[in-house]
Structure 1
């Protein structure tokens, strides 16, 4: 059960009002995403991959069996080794981006300056901006077909403004082999359900990245005394006379769910990136971009 004090229901006029409120935020979120990209993008040159292209990437030692025509004789003349000149891969790849529109993403505690939904959208739009600069093809399941465009982030924001995305996990029908999928969500559904969904995408040959967004209160469980909890998905309520007595069990279950998802992602060759809304959005952007570029995840965010 997600934790919340004020929530909106997903049906009827409440859903329409929420959709309108979400759309009204998109221009500001796009500006915020562009600001985040500007703060981290200096000196970045796309996702570094060896392949067919025009731009120089690196020198590396010659290995027997490789084409002699790729030897860089000028560099090799500097010492006793023979070096090849690698070029950077320039073929566009399709990357699907998705921010969870579920009601639980609306949650924002007093210790966070933004909701989970706002942060998820900023991460998605910032990543679209960054990947578009690298020449990737960007799409948004159920909202926008993949496009190869420098203004992909703006086009996603416009599409989300004009189209209310369906709640629930995105369909995998359009996902093609060798494409990539970035899912930004709180992943509070039953872990078995999430595992089943990502397994379907993995069987299609898709490489995935889960950015798990959490409000700091969801991790710390700072509640005490008589507290009412409401599930934003169903409206169900739970009243605890002494909420602090639930902290240990809640924390154990919450962390176990996170660890199960992280372990399953590692098994699939996917990445799992935790992110809290009281941290900078740029941290999540750098982390997911690094994983997409093949940089190992060596630092975990502290709870």
Structure 2
């Protein structure tokens, strides 16, 4: 599988999504159900109320018995992709990718993969100016819509207010919600939104995205850090503060994971330097389990 840097270098989101996901489809055994699809599976006896269009009339003429042709079709699912597009997602890693760059590529690959499974896919981009929401659809034009929304998404400001978010949870609709966020919040607004989505929609897969230079604290010497959402600045010596930073970071990551799992989210931490393998695998695992 290509690295995130190579995929980003293509400067073509549809192509990058396809290349990231296609190899992952090979050898996967998908959950299937009986239905009226195209691939023949077996016969079963006719029962009152069955669709007569599925009756095998030739077999009935030969045997004087009435059977329906059953087929296998892929189980389908509604997938709700959620992108945190607050200003902290503009943080760049040492490989040149921002968190937003990585999230775009990852969500595009997930959208492609879900579409290949016949799933209805929707997208919500969380932005303080308002939500950009594409309702879930399974038609052929949905994937280009999703790509365009992701390509034009910009990260800015802080997390949307409760009033802005209210339409997302106003309607109950069973779905697998997949949220990509760095989980930087002033209170518990991200956790609160995902808790409400879990209550109204069902499963939540939280992909907690961190830059590798944050995780490893690869900075050297005197550094000025700026909070991208508040503008506050902090000057420190990175070499002197590395041990304390990493200790506090690990404590925060443990607390974040523990809280997410306590609320029933399927939580996974990702690095902007890592391939998309884990996230794609978790999607397929949740899809089969559902």
Fold in common (TM above 0.5): yes
Q: Mean alpha-carbon deviation: is it higher for 150-159 or for 219-228?
A: 150-159
Structure 2 Cα separation of the partners of residues 41 and 180 of structure 1: 19
Per-residue CA deviation, residues 40-71 of structure 1 (Å, 9 max, x unaligned), is 1123354x2667676799xxxxxxxxxxxxxx
Cα offsets for 1:165-212 (capped at 9, x unmatched): 886358353452421211111112246333222222222243111111
Give the equivalent residue in structure 2 for 1:229: 225
Secondary structure of 2:167's match?
coil
TM-score (norm 1): 0.67
Aligned-pair Cα RMSD in Å:
3.3
Q: CA deviation at 1:218?
A: 0.5
Q: 1:171 aligns with which of 162, 165, 168?
A: 165
| Gap runs ≥5 in structure 2 | 1-8, 42-70, 125-131
Aligned to 1:139, the other structure's residue is in SS state strand
Match of 2:55 in 1: none
**Residue 148 of structure 1: aligned partner:** 138
Deviation readout 1:92-146 (Å, 9 max, x if unpaired): 4321102222222122232x25221111111111111111111111111233121
Q: 1:129 aligns with which of 101, 104, 112?
A: 112
Q: Does 1:267 align with 2:257?
A: no
Aligned length: 240
Find 1:254's aligned residue among 249, 253, 277: 249
CA gap 1:226/1:165 in 2 versus in 1, 3 angstroms: closer
**Shift, 1:91, TM fit:** 5.5
Larger radius of gyration: 2
Moved more, 114-123 or 141-150: 141-150
Q: TM-score scaled to structure 2, two decimals?
A: 0.70
- As a proportion of its length, which structure holds more strand? 2
Using a 3 Å threshold, how does the CA distance of structure 1 residues 289 and 208 change in structure 2: closer, same or farther? same
Distance 1:162 1:108, change over 3 A: closer
Please show how residues 1-303 of structure 1 align to structure 2 within 5 Å. Answer: 28-44=12-28, 46=30, 48=31, 90=74, 92-110=76-94, 112-141=95-124, 142-160=132-150, 168=159, 171=165, 173-175=167-169, 176-190=172-186, 192-240=188-236, 242-294=237-289
Find the residue that maps to 2:262 and give its secondary structure: helix
Conserved in 2, the CA contact under 8 Å of 1:100 and 1:185?
A: yes
